[in-house]
C-alpha cells in the first residue's frame, strides 16, 4: 500500500470514530445539576396546637386547706418569627401566643375545701438556634413567658362558700426545643416541647359580699408539646 493510500485510510478511520462518539454522546442524557441546600433565612407566620399540663403548688397556710395539683388540657394558637442562616447554623427569634384550657382541682385529705384553677392564655418571646441538615432543622429555644390564670377558687366542701382570685397574668421564663422540616419551598412543619417556669407568685382571694382579701402564694410550671405549620416568606 502506498503512503497516500495509508494516510487516506487513517483519516477515514478517525472521521468514523468521531462520528460514532458524537452519536453516543447525543444518546446519553445530561447529568442533572446537584440541588441547592434549603435556605432557612427569612420570616414566617404559622399556627400550632397540642396538649399541656401545669403543676400548681400552693404555699401551705394554717387556716385553709389548699393542696397541690395538676391542671391539664389543650392549647392552640399562632406564631411569627424570622431566621437567619450562616453555614449550617440558623439563628432566629419567635413570638408565640396560645389560647388554652387547662383545668385542675384537688380535695385535700381533710375534705374541708376544694381548690381549682384554670389557665386560659399563654405567650412566649424566644430566641432560637439550630443546625440545618438541608431540609431538617433541629433547634433549641429560650426566653420569657407569660401565663394568664382565668381563675383560682377555694370552695368549702361543707358550706359551699368560697374564695376566688382570677384574671391574673404572671411572667416567667421558658426553655424548649424541637425539629422543623421544610416539605415545600415555602412550607414547613414542626414538633416541639416547651417548659415554662413562673416561679412563686401571690394572689389576692376575695369572697362575694365580704370586704378584705386573703393573700396566698403558689409555685407554678407549665409544659406543652406542640405540632405546628409555618408559611415562610422567601
* Sequential DSSP letters for the chain: --HHHHHHHHHHHHHHHHHHHHHHHHHSPPPPPPPPPP---EEEEEEEEEEEEEEEEEPP-SS----EEEEEEEEEEEEEEEEEEETTEEEEEEEEEEEEEEEEEE--TT-SEEEEEEEEEEEEEEEEEEE-BTTEEEEEEEEEEEEEEEEEEEEETTT--EEEEEEEEEEEEEEEEEEEEEEETTEEEEEEEEEEEEEEEEEEEB-TT--S-EEEEEEEEEEEEEEEEEEEE-
User: Distance between CA atoms of 69 and 53, rounded to whole angstroms?
Assistant: 10
pLDDT of residue 18 exceeding 90, the answer is no
Mean pLDDT of 135-153: 96
Backbone φ/ψ region at 134: left (φ over 0), alpha (ψ -120 to 50), beta: left
**Partners of 227 in the β-ladder:** 49, 191
pLDDT of residue 156 exceeding 90, the answer is no
- Residue in the structure block whose three cell numbers are 392549647: 75
Task: Say what the pLDDT of residue 109 is.
Answer: 67
Instruction: Give the cell for residue 217.
Output: 402564694
Give per-residue pLDDT as tens, 110-141. 667 889 999 999 999 999 999 999 999 999 99
pLDDT-based confidence at residue 173 (cuts at 50, 70, 90): very high
**Partners of 98 in the β-ladder:** 77, 122
Q: Give the pTM.
A: 0.81
Mean pLDDT of 26-53: 77
pLDDT-based confidence at residue 11 (cuts at 50, 70, 90): very low
Mean pLDDT of 155-177: 88
Amino acid at each position: 500500500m502506498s503512503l497516500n493510500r495509508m494516510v487516506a485510510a487513517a483519516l477515514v478511520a478517525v472521521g468514523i470514530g468521531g462520528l460514532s462518539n458524537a452519536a453516543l454522546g447525543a444518546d446519553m442524557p445530561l447529568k442533572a445539576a446537584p440541588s441547592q441546600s434549603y435556605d432557612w433565612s427569612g420570616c414566617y407566620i404559622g399556627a400550632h396546637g397540642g396538649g399541656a399540663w401545669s403543676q400548681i403548688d400552693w404555699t401551705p397556710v394554717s387556716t385553709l386547706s389548699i393542696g397541690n395539683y395538676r391542671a391539664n388540657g389543650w392549647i392552640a394558637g399562632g406564631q411569627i418569627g424570622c431566621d437567619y442562616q450562616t453555614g449550617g447554623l440558623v439563628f432566629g427569634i419567635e413570638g408565640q401566643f396560645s389560647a388554652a384550657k387547662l383545668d385542675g382541682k384537688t380535695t385535700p385529705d381533710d375534705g374541708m375545701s376544694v381548690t381549682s384553677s384554670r389557665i386560659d392564655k399563654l405567650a412566649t418571646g424566644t430566641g432560637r438556634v439550630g443546625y440545618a441538615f438541608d431540609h431538617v432543622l433541629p433547634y433549641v429555644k429560650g426566653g420569657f413567658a407569660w401565663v394568664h390564670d382565668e381563675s383560682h377558687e377555694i370552695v368549702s366542701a361543707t358550706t359551699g362558700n368560697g374564695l376566688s382570685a382570677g384574671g391574673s397574668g404572671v411572667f416567667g421564663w421558658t426553655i424548649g426545643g424541637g425539629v422543623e422540616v421544610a416539605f415545600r419551598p415555602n412550607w414547613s412543619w414542626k414538633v416541639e416541647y416547651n417548659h415554662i417556669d413562673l416561679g412563686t407568685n401571690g394572689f389576692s382571694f376575695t369572697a362575694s359580699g365580704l370586704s378584705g382579701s386573703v393573700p396566698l402564694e403558689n409555685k407554678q410550671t407549665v409544659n406543652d408539646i406542640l405540632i405546628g405549620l409555618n408559611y415562610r416568606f422567601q
